[in-house]
Structure 1
Amino acid sequence: MDVKSAFLNGYINELVYVDQPPGFEDPRKPNHVYRLHKALYGLKQTPRAWCEWLRDFLIMQGFKIGKVDMTLFTKDVNGDLFICQIYVDDIIFGCTNEKLSHEFGDMMSRGFEMSMIGELNFFLGFQIKQVKRGIFIHQEKYCRDLLKKFKMGDCKPISTPMSTNEHLDADVDGKLVDQSTYRSMIGSLLYLTASRPDIMFSLCLCARFQAAPKESHLTAMKRILRYLKHTPSIGLWYPEGAKLELLGYSDSDFAGYRVDRKSTLGVSWSSKKQNCVALSTAEAEYIAAGACRAQILYMKQSLLDFGVVCGSVPLLCDNESAAKIAKNPVQHSRTKHIDIRHHFLRDHEAKGDITITGVRSEEQLADIFTKPLGEETFSRLRSELNVLDWSNFMKNKKKVGTVIRVGQYRLQFS
């Protein structure tokens, strides 16, 4: 649903005065001003006033505000979970009981002037397909618009976003390219990573050279666009009835960045260069695991707002030495130089919040965020992240009895 003239509903607490509008001046008091009691568009207090008014309204109706996301509101009605997400004046809501959704719509319509849009299928550039077997989220339209914007609509498609033998560096002797265009490409593609984690590593690597982009960097950026041309309808698949389990995968590419020899860590759909130079693979993996632990704490707390309680979360790391450092609080010559802030991983291991276990390198899903991969490995890891091609999904759906594999799931159409 959409709230009409949303900002006009909020009350402001500060003293704010405005001039008399042209054509509506009081002839008896031409030099007087008006004091505002409610918000107007254009005031800096207006967005906050609207959010506070809507928050208080929902809390009065029995909703609980999210502890992590302050724009999330939930309500438990006889075992049925109602979820309401606010984005300025747009509201997404849903419930395990359809009747409660209709009641919420009626309640909001009585409190505000609303526009009911119906079932969610497009929001903030995201396209949502709701089918009986699950929900698919993708950004195909946004992706095709990007290709047109950067004049890559007729480019030759390619199956991976980065070549396995491609290692970008500062390219000091390279030819400079237009900085504004390069940065525009980076910013536009970053929004796409919300549903396309498969381009995260290659995009973040290119983003490191925004200060002085060269032709080699622009070529790497165009390869990402060529990959999007090959896979415009890829997105995230959330199958119905899937068992919810929180797992942590952490990985690090030791000294992989050629400019300053810092390692790249892959954690929680992100690819980030570490702040310090690691002296060993174990140290690089240990720091990555610590960053992953922080993300797990955040996700555990977020899931509590949805009524999901997670116990000890497995943290999968493909470096045995890093796992032993986390479990064994012994200080020795090979670890005493590691910053103390990274050792909070040991505390949570001792508390039982996480369980650090080993995983085979070929089963390390975070590899897709730390290094360029070959087509076969890249496609397999992408599938394990439940990232699939919607066009192939719909093509197979037409064939009765077709069985396709989506990540860890097998779907059969009838």
Structure 2
Amino acid sequence: MKIPQGFSMENKNRVCRLKKSLYGLKQASRNWYEKFTSSLLSQRFKQSKADHSLFTYKEENSFVAVLIYVDDVILVGNNLVKIQQTKKYLDKQFSIKDLGRLKYFLGIEVAKTSEGLVLSQRKFTLDILEDSGMMGCRPSSFLIESNLKLDKGEKENRVDATSYRRLIGRMLYLQVTRPDIAYAVNMLSQFVANPRKNHMDVANRVLCYLKGTVGQGILLPRAGEPVLTAYCDADWLGCPYSRRSRTGYLLLLGGAPISWKSKKQSLVSRSSAEAEYRAMASTVSEILWVRWLLKDLQIS
């Protein structure tokens, strides 16, 4: 902090005492998190050890969960009275704005149907197409060519790195509800440092696929057994120039996808069996974390 204008320089050895956390200071986010956490803990909420942004309340047959992302909060539960009490308490502490039933959260659209909840990013997808100038492109029925292996393309022409990075960054967030593009986006994100024309052509192909599947998302069914199922795989020496394999896994809860990843392994595997075991180890780690999370949500 600097001395305010008009303050006498004779008092230059004095300091300012901070009585209230100011927005924009480096300690503001930490103070906000501490105050929000202490406020919920005082209302007998418990903080999840698997995810520190999740708070749960359990008393007899009542259950309420609070999920926070910076200053955006979701409240769910089976006791409307407790939910309303929590809202009033938070409004007294922070002066919140109640947006009603969950419809839109961090760019994710939530639609309630008779079969369950549908999560999609339709508006976000249209924004990507419009920002990239691909709104009038011809839709593609498939994502990328089969067995496509991208290299550095050193003989190809360079493209604008800033626009390429912006596009890949937005696609990375689009994976939140689109596990079908995870592999292609992971492959394209390897070349953000020095993108070439062949990389941009594949990225535009992904945009053409998105144009034909704008409203596609995830269905979280109302009915279904809470059974956790996991699938994993690895492609041995999938990257042509680093010779590293790629891990892919998918976790389903009651038939609905809840976690997925496509990522290049950190080391070069010396056999296909080693690549598969590395993929299984990553999957088991994710399974253990999801089980801890489900335990906090009272799901066995």
Aligned-pair CA distance for 1:34: 4.2
Task: Say yes or no: does 1:143 pair with 2:134.
Answer: no
Moved more, 269-278 or 154-163: 269-278
Q: Give the letter for the 1:178 counterpart.
A: D
In structure 1, how many angstroms separate the alpha carbons of the residues matched to 2:34 and 2:83?
Answer: 23
In structure 2, how many angstroms separate the alpha carbons of the residues matched to 1:153 and 1:186?
Answer: 17
Q: Which residue of 2 is the match for residue 77 of structure 1?
A: 59
Q: Which residue of 2 is the match for residue 96 of structure 1?
A: 78
Contact 1:157/1:230 (8 A) holds in 2: yes
Task: Say yes or no: does 1:233 pair with 2:224.
Answer: no
Equivalent position SS for 1:35? coil
In structure 2, how many angstroms separate the alpha carbons of the residues matched to 1:131 and 1:76?
Answer: 27
Q: Which residue of 1 is the match for residue 275 of structure 2?
A: 284
Equivalent position SS for 1:194? coil
Q: Give the letter for the 2:134 counterpart.
A: M
Q: 1:128 aligns with which of 110, 125, 135?
A: 110
Q: Which residue of 2 is the match for residue 3 of structure 1?
A: none
Rg (Cα) greater in structure: 1
Q: Give the letter for the 1:277 counterpart.
A: V
Q: Which residue of 1 is the match for residue 287 of structure 2?
A: 296
In structure 2, how many angstroms separate the alpha carbons of the residues matched to 1:275 and 1:136?
Answer: 35
In structure 1, how many angstroms separate the alpha carbons of the residues matched to 2:296 and 2:104?
Answer: 24
Contact 1:18/1:33 (8 A) holds in 2: no
Pairwise mapping of residues 12-411 of structure 1 onto structure 2 (< 5 A)? 19=3, 34-268=16-250, 269-309=260-300
Equivalent position SS for 2:191? coil
Aligned-pair CA distance for 1:31: 9.0
| Cα distance, 1:128–1:35 mapped onto 2, change above 3 Å | same
Equivalent position SS for 1:55? helix
Q: Give the letter for the 1:304 counterpart.
A: K
| Cα distance, 1:308–1:40 mapped onto 2, change above 3 Å | same
Equivalent position SS for 2:231? strand
Equivalent position SS for 1:115? coil
Aligned-pair CA distance for 1:292: 1.1
Aligned-pair CA distance for 1:106: 2.1
Moved more, 205-214 or 136-145: 205-214
Aligned-pair CA distance for 1:18: 7.1
Equivalent position SS for 1:160? coil
Q: Which residue of 1 is the match for residue 256 of structure 2?
A: none
Contact 1:74/1:306 (8 A) holds in 2: yes
Contact 1:179/1:213 (8 A) holds in 2: yes
In structure 2, how many angstroms separate the alpha carbons of the residues matched to 1:101 and 1:131?
Answer: 22
Aligned-pair CA distance for 1:233: 0.5
Q: Give the letter for the 1:287 counterpart.
A: R
Contact 1:177/1:214 (8 A) holds in 2: yes
In structure 2, how many angstroms separate the alpha carbons of the residues matched to 1:19 and 1:176?
Answer: 48
Residue-by-residue CA offset, 1:293-323 (whole Å, 9 max, x unaligned): 11112112222221223xxxxxxxxxxxxxx
| Cα distance, 1:82–1:171 mapped onto 2, change above 3 Å | same
Q: Which residue of 2 is the match for residue 332 of structure 1?
A: none
TM-score by length of structure 1 reads 0.66
Aligned-pair CA distance for 1:107: 2.4
Residue-by-residue CA offset, 1:208-254 (whole Å, 9 max, x unaligned): 12222211111000001000000010111101132111122110112
In structure 1, how many angstroms separate the alpha carbons of the residues matched to 2:5 and 2:41?
Answer: 36
In structure 1, how many angstroms separate the alpha carbons of the residues matched to 2:24 and 2:238?
Answer: 48
Equivalent position SS for 1:76? strand
Equivalent position SS for 2:232? strand
In structure 2, how many angstroms separate the alpha carbons of the residues matched to 1:139 and 1:201?
Answer: 18
| Cα distance, 1:124–1:62 mapped onto 2, change above 3 Å | same
Contact 1:18/1:35 (8 A) holds in 2: no
Residue-by-residue CA offset, 1:57-84 (whole Å, 9 max, x unaligned): 1111100001021111100132222000
In structure 2, how many angstroms separate the alpha carbons of the residues matched to 1:32 and 1:282?
Answer: 66
Q: Which residue of 1 is the match for residue 257 of structure 2?
A: none
| Cα distance, 1:30–1:211 mapped onto 2, change above 3 Å | closer
Contact 1:20/1:32 (8 A) holds in 2: no
In structure 2, how many angstroms separate the alpha carbons of the residues matched to 1:115 and 1:128?
Answer: 19
In structure 2, how many angstroms separate the alpha carbons of the residues matched to 1:183 and 1:253?
Answer: 26
